[in-house]
Structure 1
């Protein structure tokens, strides 16, 4: 189990067998929790519910259901990630609804909501040979003591990819083979969202190690952020836009991407930072070159090159 968890968490975290230190949270499977443990359920859209029990006094989190190695491993990974993200939040780390890519050597934070085209753009960048993915969503950011250098880091989580993105970038037959090879247990139920009309395009979940193998690439753990790009999809190619954001508008746009909670689920470990601890990171991000970029989904591979050339001309030192 430890070997599988290590594989799923790489390159962001190292998981090793052994005892935990004093006062540390423990994540446990295959053990009956004490009667006083509080039940906690995680229900993600399109997935089966995952059941936990929490013993706050002993700092233990028990996985209860569903059974099976794939779901137990996924559940332990999710809980371990949540514990560490909550700790990072207490230390003042800023979390953004954003992807992060190293594009021709420049670190680019791609801020955008769900279905803004972040994962499609990053994957096209990797396929084009110009990009190294750090993460496709929920990036964490800190600022160095100099108050200017912002560093973004990824976390071990599955990569949610639209099915039409796979079709577009790999072709339908190859995309079908890719979907059949994926090991995330939620892929067995996610198609129900499309079939029920809840989700238009359908989604597949890819673990980072699968993504690296599929694209024959490495995944970066962290990168210095050189530019901030507010990303969205254009419904019509005529609506495509690539333009700088004035300094006066940057703080407001940035705030729309800030995550109020460090985790989508399991915010039960305490996560409130010291007042003002994220102010320096916000200020440093606002000072970075910032752009709006709306692109047409079907033209994503050409648009990767367009953005790379645009940023290179405006940011890279002469």
Structure 2
């Protein structure tokens, strides 16, 4: 049981929605740090009729049970009162899990609202690479996280998000804007070894505060994740790399990223306009949230089509890189993009 369970009201806002929080002061302070710079938190109650997320509160008898389990993590239990539009966190207890649970639920509400506004969600990271906004598209284990971290360490990159970027296009001015969301960053352990050396990498892992890091080693032991992973909160990522995190960025180019099996398999090639749509569709997320999709997410077809059309008009490339030489490969891609996109 937490030492202080007295709760207060807070509001979180985004361009798509605002939601209420009912939680302790300690949880609110931790959540504000985790949500920055994406979702600002302010003291005070939200407007009537908006969704609220509550901890240390008893749900009514008619609330519907919901349980969410991410791979390698413990189950998180909620109860949902649809009439009063309130989601209650039930378990596990302890400030670390309560904070993580409330952040996930708040993010899910706002991403669902964004989906109804025509926002397109893409399995991609977004980084400012030597002044260019680059969407790095690829599925799990495509090397996005390793590449983005290496770009920041090289001094040429600023991360907006590591994965699941949301994209919109201004119907008048036309540029595509990518926006990040507060979510933990899943990093391969051999990426940390490669970038920092084994000794410092071990120190980094033991210092991390995400509660799921206590259970994630089971994925490596079971063979599901052969390299092992750790979850890093955005503020820990910023501290580790000595950087700031951007909230949004104009997208100048799309790069479909993959890892080469051998150094001789690396390569860079433009994607012709006729092949961009099908390649992009493979990375579009059909749901705005990986696990907690209970808030409605009926997309706006006109907005999605407008964004999809604008994305396929952007310069698009394939880049296959060598994991072991990632810091050199960051510089190589930056040079290639500068050559391709120069007026």
Paired residue for 1:264? 290
2:316 maps to 1:290: yes
Paired residue for 1:32? 58
In the TM superposition, what is the alpha-carbon distance from 1:147 to its structure 2 partner?
6.0
Paired residue for 2:130? 104
TM-score by length of 1: 0.98
Paired residue for 1:44? 70
2:160 maps to 1:151: no
The match for 1:217 among 243, 265, 270 is 243
Instruction: State the distance in 2 between where 1:117 and 1:241 align.
Output: 14
In the TM superposition, what is the alpha-carbon distance from 1:99 to its structure 2 partner?
0.3
* SS state at 1:193 partner: helix
In the TM superposition, what is the alpha-carbon distance from 1:279 to its structure 2 partner?
0.5
Instruction: State the distance in 2 between where 1:156 and 1:279 align.
Output: 26
In the TM superposition, what is the alpha-carbon distance from 1:194 to its structure 2 partner?
0.3
Cα RMSD after superposing both structures:
0.9
Instruction: State the distance in 2 between where 1:232 and 1:34 align.
Output: 49
Instruction: State the distance in 2 between where 1:166 and 1:274 align.
Output: 40
Paired residue for 1:302? 328
The match for 1:239 among 245, 265, 273 is 265
Q: How many residues align?
A: 317
2:209 maps to 1:183: yes
Post-superposition Cα deviations, 1:13-56, rounded to whole Å, max 9, x if no partner, equal: 10122211111000001111111111111100110000001111
8 Å CA contact retained: 1:13, 1:156: yes
Instruction: State the distance in 1 between where 2:185 and 2:158 align.
Output: 14
Unaligned runs of 5+ in 2: 1-26
* SS state at 1:161 partner: strand
Post-superposition Cα deviations, 1:73-122, rounded to whole Å, max 9, x if no partner, equal: 00000000000000000000000000000000000000100000000000
8 Å CA contact retained: 1:147, 1:281: no
Post-superposition Cα deviations, 1:241-283, rounded to whole Å, max 9, x if no partner, equal: 1000011000000000100000001111111122332101001
* SS state at 1:33 partner: coil
The match for 1:62 among 88, 91, 104 is 88
The match for 1:171 among 181, 197, 205 is 197
- Structure 1 range deviating more: 15-24 or 93-102: 15-24
TM-score by length of 2: 0.91
Post-superposition Cα deviations, 1:102-151, rounded to whole Å, max 9, x if no partner, equal: 00000000010000000000000000000000001000000012363000
In the TM superposition, what is the alpha-carbon distance from 1:316 to its structure 2 partner?
3.2
8 Å CA contact retained: 1:9, 1:77: yes
Instruction: State the distance in 2 between where 1:113 and 1:22 align.
Output: 39
In the TM superposition, what is the alpha-carbon distance from 1:287 to its structure 2 partner?
0.4
8 Å CA contact retained: 2:115, 2:300: no
8 Å CA contact retained: 2:122, 2:283: yes
